[in-house]
Structure formats: C-alpha cells, structure tokens
Structure 1
Amino acid sequence: MLLERLYDDDLAHASYVIGCQRTGEAIVVDPRRDIQVYLDLAAKNGMTITAVTETHIHADYLSGTRELAARTGATMYISGEGGEDWQYGAGFQDATRMSHGHRISVGNISVDAVHTPGHTPEHLSFLVTDGAASPEPGYFLSGDFVFVGDVGRPDLLDEAAGGIDTRFDGARDLFASLRDHFLTLPDYVQVLPAHGSGSACGKALGAVPSSTVGYERRFAWWAPYLDAGDEQGFIDALLNDQPDAHAYFARMKRQNRVGPAILGQLAPLVEHSASDLDADLETDRVVVIDTRHHSLVHQGTVPGALNVPGVAKAASYGAWVYDPEAETRPLVLLIDSADAAAQFRDHLLRVGIDDVEGYITTLDGLPTVRPKTIAPTDLDQIDAALLLDVRNRTEYTAGHIPGGSQLSGGRALWHADELPDGTILTYCQSGVRNSVVASALRRAGHDIVEIEGSYNAWLAATTSQPTAA
C-alpha cells in the first residue's frame, strides 16, 4: 500500500493519497484545488487516480474534489449524512453519496466511511484497511474530527455558516462520536488528521503529523472527560477560548457545498510593463498585490496596493484582504519572477481567488506612496479615532496596548464599514499582519497609521522607560 500525506503549510492542511500497488489504483482524500501535486505523485508511482473523496464540507480552503475528478475521470464520493440541510449541491450530481459504513475499494485497500458528526453534521472519517497485509483497519483518516491533541471545533457553523447556537449540539455530537466510534478502535490504529498546528479549525492542534488512538486516549485534553462520562465538562472546555474564525470561511462553506468552479488548464500569467500597469492603475482596472516584506512596502508601494508578503502565507493573507465576491478587478502581482508568480497564484486558488491576471517585477516607472507609520513612543502625538489591535482574541487578552479595541485580521475587511471616521492606529504582534490588514483598510478608504514594530516594539519601549523616583 502507498499512503502519502501532502501538507500545505500555508493553510495547515493535509490531504492524503492512498494507492494499491498491485492494481495501480489510487484514491485522494481532501484534495486542495491546485491538483498538479496529486497528478505528479500518481505518475511517479505508476498509479491512476480512480477515486476522490472528502471528509466534510470544508470552511478553511476550497476543495479540489471536482477539479481532480474532472481532470482524471475519478469517481467522486461525498457524504450523504447530516440531514437535509447539510447535503452537497448541484456541482456534485454525479458523485456517490456515502452513509455510515459505505466502503470504497481501491484494489486490495478498503476505505470505510464512519459518520463522525460534531465539527459538522455531515462529517465522515475513513478507516483504511490494507487487505494485502491484514484484515483489520490500521489507519483512521479523521478529517476535522480528531487532531493530534485536539478535536475539531463545533462553533464554525455559527461563525461561518450563519448558524445560531449550533455549537452546543455540535459539541454534544463530538462527545458521542468520540465515545461511540473513536474510542472503540484498537490503540494501534494510526490517526491521520486533515489539519496541523496553525489551523483555525481547532484551538490546540499539535505540530506532530500523526498520532494513534491509544496515545490520544491517554494524553489528549479531552480524554478525562470521556473517561468520566462528563459531557457538560467536555462541552464547556471545548467551547472556551476558541480562536477567531476568519470571515472568508463563510464563502468557503458556500462554495464547497455547491461545488467549486472547475478551473481546467490555466493560462500563463502575463508580465506587465510599467507603462501598461500605470495606465491600468489610472483607470483603476486592476488591483496590485505587493508581495514584499512590509519593511520594503513602508519605503514605497503602488497606491492602493494590497500587501500579502511572500508565497508562504499567500492563501491565508490573500483571503483576508481580497474578497472575490465583492471585487471584480483582476489582480497583478509585484513579485520576483514568473515562477514565483505562478506559485503565488496556486496558493490563491486554494481560497477561491481565481483572478490573477499577471505580474510585474519592479516598481521602476510607477508612482509610489509611503504608507503612514508612527513610532510606538509617539502615540500620544496623534488624536486617533481608534486604536485597533488586529491580533486574535487570545493574544489581545494576554496583553494589549491600553485603550485598544480588538478586531482580528481575518475579519477586519468585512467590518470596515463599522470603523469610525478619522485616523485609526493599527498594530499586531510584530508588524506583518498589521501591514496586511492596514493595506486592505486603506484600500477601503480609511486613514490608517501603522505602529512601527507593533505590540512587540511598544512593549519593549514601555518596559525600557525609566521609572520616576
């Protein structure tokens, strides 16, 4: 059996390719939308992708299930659980809808669906059995049900799908799923989750890529509550201090439920000249994404540019600052090379930002502006209408600049109309997220002044001040 984990550090997302080496068939579980990585892996191992599935309707990235099926002819398998309100839509008419116990056969390998609601009502996990080695399952693809050291959060339907207090039923479902399905498995079964550390789909995800049922049974934070049968204690602990949910999650939920648009072969990106781009900027035909570090952006960037620094977090930060449902203008990247631009576009595709038109490698010949900044020691020199902390709630609670209000970076653009007129001072922890969010709020028409070095610099300046005798 071939079992490969393909991990996207940007979105902390894991997908899996499982293949039978005897028959050359493979199944992909929870694929992302830029699918070449799966095609390359299958080709490298002399396999054909015959099936593709996903554990649930995801909220944090756009699924590649339809894309991969369209490219390879693989059969799509999706959940039919969860009740009428949680069925997949029109884009999945040709898919096989699975209930608890449904088996997908891939050569000698069996992939059995286990209905594990809680994170979402339709959620499935998959028990994988390598029939050539054993008649018993050895792997549990847990999706967003069980992570290393954590379980999936049940509040995203309230946060991202318009639900009202669904988190309580979800938490009770999670407790039951752990009790009735997960903890009935043998200790040796390997647990392979769909997310790792850094994902907003849980609050305490471990950085280790996999676990076992036995390890989680003994060491996970939730295990004592299950041992004691303490459902209410579990619910209270689970729902306390969950991280902020990014606003773009709502769009991911809607698009993944209906079925993401199929991209097909992508056209090469166009390299713009300074004169062409200058004309486009004059008519506001395009939006520029400046992919440089904020220290360079602060020395000068294109008026109205969005700052998404580097490819490593392009999907995460890109979805904070650009809403393709509200924005009709295509994107032009300020980036080092054509190869870097293509890689950056792949990351944006993972969150449904499909309108990257081209790129430019230099600011030479273009008008530039310097974003407003202020030293942390000079805050009293500005009569600001708002001091805005764009970190997560947990960071804000742990310590913040006095007088600051918190609005996480992944939600700021969607609440820009609620911000006051006048100057807004903004900060994050070190300045990276601050520059991203500030660029979006400036483009939305706000007068933004970034605190240089953000909270870290303010804290250093405050603690270094001499005390009065």
Structure 2
Amino acid sequence: MIIQQFFTKKIAHSSYFLGGDKVCAIVDPRRDADMYIEVAREMGTRITHILETHLHADFISGHMDLAKKSGAMIYGPRSANFDFDYVPLSEGDFFEIEDMSIKVLETPGHTPEHISYVVTDRSRGEDPVALFCGDTLFVGDVGRPDLFPGRAEELAFKLYDSLHEKIMKLPDTCEVYPAHGAGSLCGRAMAAKRTSTIGYEKKFNYALNISDRREFIRSLTHGMPDAPDHFGRCTDINRQGPVKVSNLSPLEELETSIFSSLAAGNNVLVLDVRNFEAFGGQHVPGAYSIDIDSNFPTFAGWLLPPEKDILLVSGGYGQAVEASIQLRRVGLDRVYGYLTGGMYAWVTAGYPTGHVPQLSSHELHQRVIQGDATVLVDVRAVKEYENFHIQNAINIPVAELRERYVELDPAEETVLICGSGQRSSMGSSLLKQKGFEKVFNAAGGMRGYAEAGFGPECPLCTLPWASFAGRSNMGSSGI
C-alpha cells in the first residue's frame, strides 16, 4: 500500500493517492487533476476509484475531470444525491482495492452527508491502518459545523457522535489523513502538521478532549471565523458536477483597445492580481485588487460577483494563467482574458489610471500621534483586531466593506490597514469603486508597524501558516 499526499497551498487542501501494485484510488481530488494522472503513470498504476468524502464547500472538486481522463468510477456519500453517475456509499459499505479493504463510516457533522474511509492493509495485518476523514477530523482540530444556516447545533451534536462513537474507537496507531491543514477556513485551529494518528489526536486535540457534549457543541458554535461567500456556491457546484476544465474557454490575450471596450461592459469586472505596491502605483480604474501572493483563491471567491466575466491585469502571461487556475478552484469559471503588455501597455496607450498612495509605517505613525484628520480602517478579522490594533482604528473586515462602506465618509481621508498590506489593498479597491478618492494603503500593515517599534509584536503576523481569519483567543490591546 502506498499513500501520497498532494497539498494545495492557499486553500490548504490535501488530496491523496492510495495505491496498490496495479491500481489506485484518488481521494478528494482538486479540480486541476492532471497531476494525479502523472503520478499514477509514474507509479505504474491505473486510477480505478475516485473517493469523495463530502460535498466540499471551499473548493471545486476534480472528480468530473478525473473521471473523464482516467475512466475511474466516482464514489461518494449516498445522501449527497449527486446529479451524475456515481457509486453511492452508506454506513458499513465495503470494497477492495487489491490487498486493501476499505470500509465506509458515516461521519456527519461538518456537513450532513459526510463519510470517512477506513483502510486496512491485509498484506500486513487486520487492524485499520489509515483513515481518510475529509473534514471530520483535522490535526489539532475538527470540522466546523456552522456552514448550514440554522443547523449548527444539530450538526455539532452529530459531529460529537461521529468522533466519539466511531473515529476515536479506531486503533491509536491508525494514521489520520484529513482533507485540510492550517490556513483553511473549514476549521478554526488546525495545526501546521498535515497528518497524524488517532492516538496523537486523542491525546492532544482540544476538541476531542471536550468530553461534555454540551460544552463541545458550545465550543464549535461560537467564535467561528466568517465563512466566505463561495462556500455555499461550491457545495452546489460539486453536487451538480462541475463543468469540466477541458470545456472551459482558453484565456484570451487582449490588446488594450479590446480590453478597454470589454471592461466597459455592465457584466464585466477587472481583476488586478499584481502585488499591492504595483496596484497602488497604476491600475485600471474600477479594478479589484487581489494580490496573487495573498490567499488569492479564497478572497476571490469571497469578494468577486460570480455572475460577471473576469478580465485580468497581471505581471505577464504566466501569472494570468496561474490566476485563472486558482479562480477555477473556487468556481469562478468566467475568466475571459488578460491585458497583453500589462499596465505598461495601458499607460503608453494613453488610457486613464487610478492610484492608491502607499503609506510607510513611519508615515502612518506620524498621522496617528499628530491626530491628523484621518480615518483609520482596520480590515482584518475581528479576532485579529481584538488581539492587536492601533488606537481609534475602526474595524471593518475586508469582505464587509462591500456593504459597510456606507459607514464611512468618502470626503474624508481614509487609510486602510491589515496584517501586511494585501487585504487593505483589496479594501482600497472596493472603496475606490464606491467613489472614495482620498484612499491610502498602509504598506507593511500591522506587521510593519510593530517591526518599526510602534507597537507590540503581532502574534498572528509572525505565523506563516496562520489563517487570515485569526486563530488567537488572546485579549485585545489598543495602541
């Protein structure tokens, strides 16, 4: 038996190759599925099974593309009611892949239809050796049960049983292979380690050590980070069966005149994926700013209206292609083309541009201590703000700016700040679309502000794997 993990950064998603000598299964595949075909060939195996643990909310699954390319059957929860041909599975169902026996457990809680796969390698023994648990159990955490409005307590109740009556009864030596790691919003406090064992989680996972059911439910139904807009959309798309990537239109190279004409359409948006400094210097008026080096797919799925065609401004063809791949991972398929020659071509063709001045930490601090008539908007998540913020800063998380911009005065000078400058650039672009002209971005964000000596170290900013939603329960400090 061979298990190989594939970790997709930014969405922090783990999929798996489960192989024997001649055939193999792919568990919870991502949408751009060619790598599974390549690995199967390298291993000298044929993909015969595609195993889905649940209807994924944070990304579009690759089951349809992989099935077409490999000829493998799709297996998934019976209660998911997929709108395509698949092998429906329920509690106690059983199938084999060479010397591997795979038993199905129904493990609802994160989602109503969730199942897990328990693998026994009969060539070595009769004890379960691996658990593909999707989003039921993570390293250091468990799946959040609050993604279905009005059902959080019901699903938390079921999650308790799934964990205590089924998963925790597996042998301590059984290896745990979850579908997500640190940085995903499918949980709250996942560890950076990507695999574990049942025994280790029983000993150290905070959620598994809450023995009282009522306290477990309370813990998992309060204080969860906001769920991005695309979570509900992805669930429906995965149930219906995503459009195959091979059927999507190729990325068009658009000259400035064509790009400008298309961008003027009512059903079109311009997305600038360059870094925030470049966006601040010159950008197409009305463009969204989402730095591709940020948690790009999550914020794109959260902020961009899915019913609109997308035109890209990038640092070149390769960056535009990468952006389109990441957009498709969250169900944004209407990527039409990108601006050939980038902003250089745009400005040399004489088209108008927008600007967002960038403030250094020192410039921002001078405004703070001098009491300048500046509105400081902290666009981080609430818990991040509570943990560490500048005195008198207003907290409006970046996604909420789409509606809460009305709380701000477009005539006033407005400075936006986040952890680094990326989310605040997103927020700046949203305010610019709403007619705000005096918008500034705090380059370096709270991290730079602390490093410059103007405040205590931001605990979240120093963790490279920390979720932007905030993972700390520490008290607040206003500075």
Q: TM-score, normalised by structure 2?
A: 0.84
* Structure 2 residue identity aligned to 1:300: Q
Contact 1:35-1:67 at 8 Å conserved across structures: yes
Match of 2:314 in 1: 334
Distance 1:127 1:450 in 2: 53
| Match status 1:48 vs 2:46 | yes
Distance 1:76 1:203 in 2: 30
Structure 1 portions without partners, runs of 5+: 82-86, 158-162, 465-469
Contact 1:61-1:252 at 8 Å conserved across structures: yes
Contact 2:312-2:320 at 8 Å conserved across structures: no
Q: Which whole-Å deviations, capped at 9, do the CAs of 1:133-159 have from their partners, x for residues lacking one? A: 3333200111111100111111122xx
Q: By how many angstroms is 1:265 displaced?
A: 5.2
Contact 1:28-1:51 at 8 Å conserved across structures: yes
| Match status 1:427 vs 2:427 | no
Q: By how many angstroms is 1:126 displaced?
A: 0.9
Contact 1:54-1:78 at 8 Å conserved across structures: yes
Distance 1:286 1:89 in 2: 31
1:16-415 → structure 2 map (5 Å cutoff): 16-21=16-21, 24-81=22-79, 87-90=80-83, 92=84, 94-157=85-148, 163-164=149-150, 166-226=151-211, 230-264=212-246, 267-281=249-263, 286-310=268-292, 313-325=295-307, 327=308, 329-336=309-316, 338-359=317-338, 360-366=340-346, 367=351, 368-372=353-357, 375-376=363-364, 377-378=366-367, 380-382=371-373, 384=375, 387-413=376-402, 415=403
Contact 1:416-1:441 at 8 Å conserved across structures: no
- Greater shift, 248-257 or 415-424, is seen at 415-424
Q: Which whole-Å deviations, capped at 9, do the CAs of 1:202-251 have from their partners, x for residues lacking one? A: 1110111111011111111134323xxx1122223333432222222122
Distance 1:442 1:105 in 2: 57
Q: Which whole-Å deviations, capped at 9, do the CAs of 1:173-193 have from their partners, x for residues lacking one? A: 121111111121111000011
> Relative to 1, partners in 2 of residues 1:182 and 1:455: Cα closer, same or farther, differing over 3 Å?
same
Distance 2:61 2:43 in 1: 24
- Greater shift, 369-378 or 416-425, is seen at 416-425
Q: 2:210 is paired with a residue of what secondary structure?
A: helix
Contact 2:313-2:342 at 8 Å conserved across structures: no
Q: By how many angstroms is 1:131 displaced?
A: 2.7
Distance 1:309 1:406 in 2: 21
* Structure 2 residue identity aligned to 1:196: G
Distance 2:261 2:313 in 1: 16
Q: By how many angstroms is 1:16 displaced?
A: 0.8
* Structure 2 residue identity aligned to 1:97: P
Distance 1:49 1:443 in 2: 48
Q: By how many angstroms is 1:61 displaced?
A: 0.8
Distance 1:246 1:389 in 2: 19
Match of 2:459 in 1: none
The root-mean-square deviation of aligned C-alpha atoms, in Å, is 2.6
Q: TM-score, normalised by structure 1?
A: 0.86
Q: 2:182 is paired with a residue of what secondary structure?
A: coil
Distance 1:372 1:175 in 2: 50
Distance 1:297 1:275 in 2: 20
* Structure 1 residue identity aligned to 2:35: V
Contact 1:373-1:449 at 8 Å conserved across structures: no
> Relative to 1, partners in 2 of residues 1:437 and 1:40: Cα closer, same or farther, differing over 3 Å?
farther
Q: 1:249 is paired with a residue of what secondary structure?
A: helix
Q: 1:332 is paired with a residue of what secondary structure?
A: strand
* Structure 2 residue identity aligned to 1:169: E
Q: By how many angstroms is 1:284 displaced?
A: 6.7
Q: Which whole-Å deviations, capped at 9, do the CAs of 1:380-432 have from their partners, x for residues lacking one? A: 54465xx533211210111333444434334544x367655525543212211
Match of 2:9 in 1: 9
* Structure 1 residue identity aligned to 2:4: E
Distance 2:111 2:437 in 1: 40
Distance 2:266 2:455 in 1: 45
Q: By how many angstroms is 1:88 displaced?
A: 2.8
> Relative to 1, partners in 2 of residues 1:223 and 1:409: Cα closer, same or farther, differing over 3 Å?
same
Q: How many correspondences in the alignment?
A: 440
Q: 2:152 is paired with a residue of what secondary structure?
A: helix
Distance 2:6 2:40 in 1: 12
- Greater shift, 246-255 or 263-272, is seen at 263-272
Contact 1:274-1:363 at 8 Å conserved across structures: no
- Greater shift, 12-21 or 373-382, is seen at 373-382
> Relative to 1, partners in 2 of residues 1:45 and 1:411: Cα closer, same or farther, differing over 3 Å?
farther
Distance 1:457 1:136 in 2: 52
> Relative to 1, partners in 2 of residues 1:363 and 1:186: Cα closer, same or farther, differing over 3 Å?
same
Contact 2:32-2:245 at 8 Å conserved across structures: no
Distance 1:63 1:299 in 2: 37
| Match status 1:443 vs 2:425 | no
* Structure 2 residue identity aligned to 1:88: N
Distance 1:104 1:331 in 2: 46
Structure 2 portions without partners, runs of 5+: 457-479
Q: Which whole-Å deviations, capped at 9, do the CAs of 1:27-62 have from their partners, x for residues lacking one? A: 111111111111211122222221212111111111
Distance 2:319 2:421 in 1: 23
Q: 2:209 is paired with a residue of what secondary structure?
A: helix
**% of aligned pairs identical?**
32
Contact 1:141-1:192 at 8 Å conserved across structures: yes
Distance 2:101 2:400 in 1: 41
